[in-house]
Structure 1
C-alpha cells in the first residue's frame, strides 16, 4: 500500500514539475500572490525579517506569509500538512534522509535544479542518493556541520592548556576527569529529541565508517548489528556512562537546555553546529570571543580515513509543495534564497556559512572561531547523521537515554536501531 501511495505521489510530483518549467503564472488575479512558507527560522528571527523585506522589495507581485515553528515541534506541525496535502506553498526540511522521507510532498525541480544552484558550492544533500543527477526536491542556501566548541576559561581553571584542546579520545577522557575535579561539567549534552543523531552520532561514526559504509547506511544496507555500528554506539554510551556529561542529559534537550549549560560557563565543551541558532556567534556573545575555542571532535582512531575530516552538509532545504497553487511564485522564492543577495543576508544577520560562491568575502565575520571553522570545512566528508531515517534518529536518542539510565544494554540498543531501520519507509524502498 505504501509503495502504491509513494508511486502516486512521485508521479504527481513529476507532473507538477512540468508546471515549474512552464511559462504560466499563478492563479492570483488582481493583486500580489501570497506565498505561505513553513520554517523553523534557521538563523533567527531577525534574519527572516530581512528575508521577507528584501524579497518582497524585489518581487512586489509576491507577499510572504511566514509560519515559524520551533525545530523540535516542526515534524508534528508539518506532518498533518503532508497527510492532508494542503497548507504551505514552500516548506523546509533538513538535507538528507529527513528530506527524502518527505519527498512525496515536494515538486522535483528537474532541469531547473542546475540553473538555480549554479553558484552554490555544494548541493547534493537535496537530491536523492546525494546525487545531483537524480531528483532534487528543493534549494539550500547555507552550509552546516558539526564542531566541538570549548570554553578556554574552564579548561584553564582545570589546569589544562586552553590552546591545545584534546585531539584523541583518551585525551578527551583525561580532560573530562580534570574538568570534573574542578567542579564543572565536561560535555554539555541533551538527549531528548533528534539532535544526538545530527550532532553527535556522525562525529563518532567517522572513526569507524568509510564513505562506502556511510552510503550503505543511507541505502539501508548496513545492519545496526554490524560491528562498526555497534562500536559507534559503545562510544556514544561512554560519554554518559563515564560521567563526562551532565547528569540530567537524558531528560533535557540539547537546544536550548544543553546549549544553555555551555553558554552559562558551566561546561568545558559543547558539540553543536557551525550555522543556525546555536553556533559560534551565540557562544561568543555569551562567553566572549576570546574565551571561545572550536575544534574537531576527538578522534577515537586517529588513523581512520575520515577521522581528521569535517562532517559537512547543506543546511535546511526549501522546496515547493505538490499541492501549492502558486508553484511559479514558490520557484521564484527558493531561487532567490540560493542567490547572492540572500547569501549576504545570511552572513550579516544569520551569522552562518553561505553556500553562494559570490558572497562578498569582506562581509565574513572576523571572529577567531569563525575563521577556525573556515579552515575546518575545507576537508568535508559525507555527514553520517543525515543518512538516518526518522525512525532511526528517534531510536538513537531514545536508546541513548535508556543506556544512560541503565535501562538498556548497547546490544539491545543495536537491536532497537535495527528494528527502526526496518520501519523506515524510505530505506525499505532502496533495499
Structure 2
C-alpha cells in the first residue's frame, strides 16, 4: 500500500513517503521481491504465523517474509545484540508499554501514520510514549491482551466447592485454597522465574491499591516503591506463596510453560494467565475440556478500590520497523497489514485470540463459554500496571518474590530492591 506502485491509492501516501525518506528508508530498485526479515516469538502459535506469511505474500507478491522465531524467554537475549549492532531484522516485536519504550531507539516513529492505523483498533495507546497518541508511536499492535483467572471446575467440585461460584473476594480465595490443598491438589499454579509475575500477577493485585493516576506514576517513575500502596501490593503477592496456596517449586520454574502445564494437567484449581496468545482459554479448553474450564476476575481485596473490579487491558505484541532497515517501505506495509481486518480474522481463526481490529466479522468469534465470559470481563478495562514496569523493575519483582517465598528476604527489603531497580531504569530516569 505504501510503496511507490501504490502511491496514488491512499491520500496519506505522500506523508508516509516523506516520513520514511527522512529516516533513510526507501527500498530502492530491486530485480525481484523484497525479503523482509521479521523477528518474533510467534504469539498465537506457529500455525497462525504460517497463515500470516502465506496470506500476506499472496496479496503482496513483491514482498517475501523471512521469519525468525525465538522463544519468549530467550527473546531479549537475541534482540539485544541486534539493537546494539544496529543491524538485523527489518521488523521486530516487543510487548506494549515500557518494554517497547525502553527499546524505542530501535524503531522508526510512525508519525501521522499511527492515527490512520489506530482508527480501526481498540487501543490503549501502549505503542505510544506515555500511553499518549499525541506522542511518538513506535509500532503496530493487533491483539487484545490482559489477565484473567482460569479455574478447573472438577478440582473445585472435588474440594467441596461450587464450581459455578468461584471465589470473588480475597477471603473466599484463601478459604478455597485451603479446601483445594486438603483435597490433594495445588490451589494456584505458579512460576516465578522470568517476567511473567510482572505481567500476569502484579497488575491484578495492584488494581486493589492503585488509582489510574498511581499507575501512570509507575510509568513516569514518580511513585516510589516504598510508598505504602506499593508495599501493600508486595505484601499480598508474598501472601500468595507464603500461605502455601501454590506449588512448592514455584520459585524455580517459569509460568510458561511449567506453571501452565500444572494447570493443564488438572493438578491445580486456578491459573492466572492471559486472554490471548500461548496460554489462553483455547489451550486450556483443549486440555481440560471446555465444560470443565471456568474464567473469572482475580478476587477483590479492597471492595472500595475504584479499579478492583475492572479488567487490566493492554495491546499485545507491537511490531515496528527498525531504524537500520533499508526496507522501511515494505516494513511499514507489512505492519499496517497486521493491524488490518484480514489479519484480525486470521488471529481469531488460528490463534483463537482477541482481535483489536473493530471490523472483524463477529460471526467468526468462538462460541466457547470461557471466551464469552472473557468478552464480558474486558468490557470494563483500566490501565495495565504490569506494562508500566521497566526491565529492571520486572526482573526485581520476580527475583524478590522468589527470595521472599524462600524466606531469604523480607517484604520491606523487597520494596527497597524495587526502588533501587526503578532508579536504575534509564527510561524512567529520563522522565519518559
Please state which band the TM-score falls in when normalised by the shorter chain. over 0.9
Q: Where do 1:80-99 residues align within 5 Å?
A: 80-99=81-100
Unpaired runs of at least 5, structure 1: 1-14
Distance 2:230 2:98 in 1: 18
Distance 2:22 2:392 in 1: 35
Corresponding residue SS for 2:187 = strand
State yes or no: 1:184 paired with 2:185.
Answer: yes
Corresponding residue SS for 2:65 = strand
Q: How far apart are 1:160 and its partner, in Å?
A: 0.2
Q: Deviations over 1:135-160 (max 9, x none)?
A: 00000000000000000000000000
* Residues 22 and 183 of structure 1, relative CA distance in 2, 3 Å threshold: closer
Distance 2:97 2:195 in 1: 14
Q: How far apart are 1:233 and its partner, in Å?
A: 0.2
Q: Deviations over 1:354-404 (max 9, x none)?
A: 000010000000000000000000000000000000000000000000000
* Residues 23 and 101 of structure 1, relative CA distance in 2, 3 Å threshold: closer
Q: Where do 1:229-248 residues align within 5 Å?
A: 229-248=230-249
Partner of 1:200: 201
Distance 2:141 2:29 in 1: 27
Corresponding residue SS for 2:430 = helix
* Residues 20 and 59 of structure 1, relative CA distance in 2, 3 Å threshold: farther
Contact persistence 2:24–2:326 (CA under 8 A): no
Unpaired runs of at least 5, structure 2: 1-15
Partner of 2:306: 305
Distance 2:191 2:235 in 1: 18
* Residues 24 and 129 of structure 1, relative CA distance in 2, 3 Å threshold: closer
Q: Where do 1:32-431 residues align within 5 Å?
A: 32-430=33-431
TM-score by length of 1: 0.95
Contact persistence 1:17–1:108 (CA under 8 A): no
Corresponding residue SS for 2:366 = coil
Corresponding residue SS for 2:126 = helix
Corresponding residue SS for 2:359 = coil
Contact persistence 1:20–1:327 (CA under 8 A): no
Distance 2:334 2:314 in 1: 22
Q: Deviations over 1:31-90 (max 9, x none)?
A: 000000000000000000000000000000000000000000000100000000000000
* Residues 425 and 24 of structure 1, relative CA distance in 2, 3 Å threshold: closer
* Residues 391 and 68 of structure 1, relative CA distance in 2, 3 Å threshold: same
Partner of 1:8: none
Q: How far apart are 1:22 and its partner, in Å?
A: 9.6
Contact persistence 1:197–1:396 (CA under 8 A): yes
Q: Deviations over 1:284-318 (max 9, x none)?
A: 00000000000000011111100000000000000
Distance 2:206 2:315 in 1: 19
Q: Deviations over 1:85-142 (max 9, x none)?
A: 0000000000000000000000000011111222111150000000001000000000
Distance 2:85 2:325 in 1: 12
* Residues 20 and 231 of structure 1, relative CA distance in 2, 3 Å threshold: farther
Partner of 2:9: none
* Residues 23 and 37 of structure 1, relative CA distance in 2, 3 Å threshold: closer
Contact persistence 1:17–1:107 (CA under 8 A): no
Distance 2:31 2:53 in 1: 21
Contact persistence 2:25–2:328 (CA under 8 A): no
Q: How far apart are 1:223 and its partner, in Å?
A: 0.2
Distance 1:346 1:373 in 2: 16
* Residues 161 and 108 of structure 1, relative CA distance in 2, 3 Å threshold: same
Contact persistence 1:20–1:331 (CA under 8 A): no
Distance 2:106 2:124 in 1: 19
Partner of 1:6: none
Distance 1:20 1:394 in 2: 38
TM-score by length of 2: 0.95
Contact persistence 2:23–2:323 (CA under 8 A): no
Distance 1:28 1:269 in 2: 55
Q: How far apart are 1:27 and its partner, in Å?
A: 2.7
Partner of 1:11: none
Q: Deviations over 1:5-46 (max 9, x none)?
A: xxxxxxxxxx99721689985135100000000000000000
Q: Where do 1:6-17 residues align within 5 Å?
A: none
Contact persistence 1:20–1:109 (CA under 8 A): no
State yes or no: 1:31 paired with 2:42.
Answer: no
